[in-house]
Chain A
């Protein structure tokens, strides 16, 4: 009787601890992001106020200034957004095509030195962006594709291909090879069998690989900051720097641009979030 009671008490204490810890964790995860969103709607005076103002007022000034293209700093947000979109979408599409073909090769063919090739490809992904940006800058400048969408797209394709290969390899491996054999017996060529059967079945994996590629391109800074110079090619992560001056930072404006950066990533990720996790684990564990 007594022991039952003490066990019950202990369980209650543990449960409270568990909930508290979970709540704190979620707070720490959420607050920084929410703080950015909140401040994008606060007037600058209030952000800078000393002592701090805790009851926020609401203004769209920062967004208005941002979209007006002039005014507060005159940051050409539209161009940056468009550049980011073009570069990220194009490079993702190309990286997925190339990566899928490579992933398929690893999943479906036996060849000598397969593991070596695989790790070798991954190692190229491990090259730090900063270390690559110096020589890449010089090479691109020589070829004359510095400060162009094309150059940045090319760089991001190369950057995303290895990881895409990793993920799609895992997914294609999940698909029994009998499936394309059945399709070939049903009259498909190998090419048809891939597009009619294997690709649709691996769709969720490909989608998750695409999200990762997109997020990488969308958020990348080290390469973009060197390979782009002008309004015509700068992406949003580089554009964030426009809000910094010698000694001051336009926090409100920056927060507004940050929100603009996060929202598409957020929407996209939530659409495919289920596949995202499956993609990571299947790709990796059962590989």
Chain B
């Protein structure tokens, strides 16, 4: 069994503290994605799990064993690096078999394991090439192959797709997911791209400035963000946020428009400054909306800009002096300046405390 546990893990670079005592339990076979803006300490965390970075405080446990001071080779992990880190002087075959060769496994076993990995990733044609003669996507595959050859307890990925072009990235994302279903090992995956995090993860760990902000399934983070940071980081386009003040059963947005308090909102005091949040999907022009149950508030707004995406069109409008985005399903052409009537799905709206940014939820 290979759970990975971090408890109060700290990383300091001299004066600068990159990771502030994080706690995390990762189950056996789970696909966990560490996501967050660049510089938030994701790589550092991953590298501490790998044993490439010393741990300044706390404990890292892999499979019930504290590994704080073990070198990487004694942790039975494998890692895929952002720039692949293929050995340039070895052929693909040698790259794949290197770890087994170092472990002094018998020749036959190496050949078998390498061929198997090559088969899974479709590398058979490329076995005798050097990395320099491979395309970006092929290198990426070899890097993954090198990771799976050893049947490690834990796979670590550090932004493995960020050097690929958009199309290839989507394709490799699917392959990584398939790979996980096949090998059933624990995977810890670092990315700064929330789409990757949403599509791949069993559980997302959202980090910021060396702290964990929220841990949960992709839908939990999408539907119940704990604060405005999560709300704007997860989901595309980011959640609309409008300043407001609580007044009885309504929120007055920027002193002009008032909307009813969502029923989901938690205890609020009269006069409390809040941020009112909703996703573009929940502000739709009447006649072009997805029909849903629940409380609705209607608004007249004028469109300033449109972004047709095919199945839907993003509408930029102005709500109480703030630019917000709305979505038009089954779109028709809209000209800027056009006045439309929108329905706001109140049950899907969020209220955050203006000062702390924390969600206020019932």
The interface-forming segment of A187-195, A221-229, A276-284 is A187-195
Q: Name the one of B51, B88, B89, B102 contacting A186, with C-beta atoms under 8 angstroms.
A: B102
* Least distance between A204 CB and chain B CB atoms (Å): 11
Q: Does B60 contact A (CB under 8 A)?
A: no
Which residues of chain A in 147-204 are interfacial with respect to chain B, using CB atoms and an 8 Å cutoff? 176, 178-179, 181-189, 192, 196-197, 200-201, 203
Near A by CB (< 8 A), chain B positions 51-103 give: 51-52, 71-73, 77-79, 81-83, 85-89, 98-99, 102-103
Shortest Cβ distance from B88 into A: residue: A201
B85: contacting residue among A176, A196, A203, CB under 8 A: A176
Chain A residue, CB-CB nearest to B84: A178
Contact of A186 with B77 in the complex, beta carbons under 8 Å = no
In the bound complex, CA of A89 to CA of B81 (Å): 40
Type the 1/0 row for A244-265, where 1 means its CB is closer than 8 Å to any CB of B: 0000000000000000000000
Task: Verify B50–A201 contact, CB threshold 8 A.
Answer: no
Which among B81, B99, B102, B103 is the interface contact of A178 at CB below 8 angstroms? B81
Partner of A187, one of B79, B82, B89, B103: B103
Please tell me if the beta carbons of A189 and B73 are within 8 angstroms of each other in the complex. Answer: yes
Q: Kindly provide the distance from the CB of A186 to the nearest chain B CB, expressed in whole angstroms.
A: 4
A178 touching B73 by the CB < 8 A rule? no
Q: How far is the CA of A203 from the CA of B90 in the complex (A)?
A: 13
For the A-B complex, the count of residue pairs with Cβ-Cβ distances under 8 Å equals 62
Contacts of A176 in B (CB 8 A): 83, 85
Contact B89 A200 (CB under 8 A): yes
- Check: B350 CB closer than 8 A to any chain A CB: no
Contact digits for B24-59, partner A, Cβ 8 Å, 1 yes 0 no? 000000000000000000000000001110000000
Q: Is the CB of A182 within 8 A of B85?
A: yes
Contact B73 A187 (CB under 8 A): yes
Min distance, Cβ A145 to any Cβ of chain B, angstroms: 40
Q: What's the nearest-Cβ distance from chain A to residue B4, in Å?
A: 15
List, in ascending order, chain A residues with CB within 8 A of B50's CB.
181, 185
Q: Which residues of A contact B (CB under 8 A)?
A: 176, 178-179, 181-189, 192, 196-197, 200-201, 203
Q: A181-B50, A186-B78 are in contact. List 17 more A-B contacts (CB 8 A).
A: A176-B83, A176-B85, A178-B82, A178-B83, A179-B85, A179-B87, A181-B52, A181-B79, A182-B85, A182-B87, A184-B52, A184-B72, A185-B51, A189-B71, A189-B73, A192-B102, A203-B89
Q: B residues engaging A (CB < 8 A)?
A: 50-52, 71-73, 77-79, 81-83, 85-89, 98-99, 102-103, 146, 150
Q: List 29 A-B contacts (CB under 8 A).
A: A176-B85, A178-B81, A178-B82, A178-B83, A179-B85, A179-B87, A181-B50, A181-B79, A181-B81, A181-B85, A182-B79, A182-B86, A182-B146, A185-B50, A185-B52, A185-B72, A185-B73, A185-B77, A185-B78, A185-B99, A186-B73, A186-B102, A186-B150, A187-B73, A187-B103, A189-B73, A197-B89, A201-B88, A203-B89
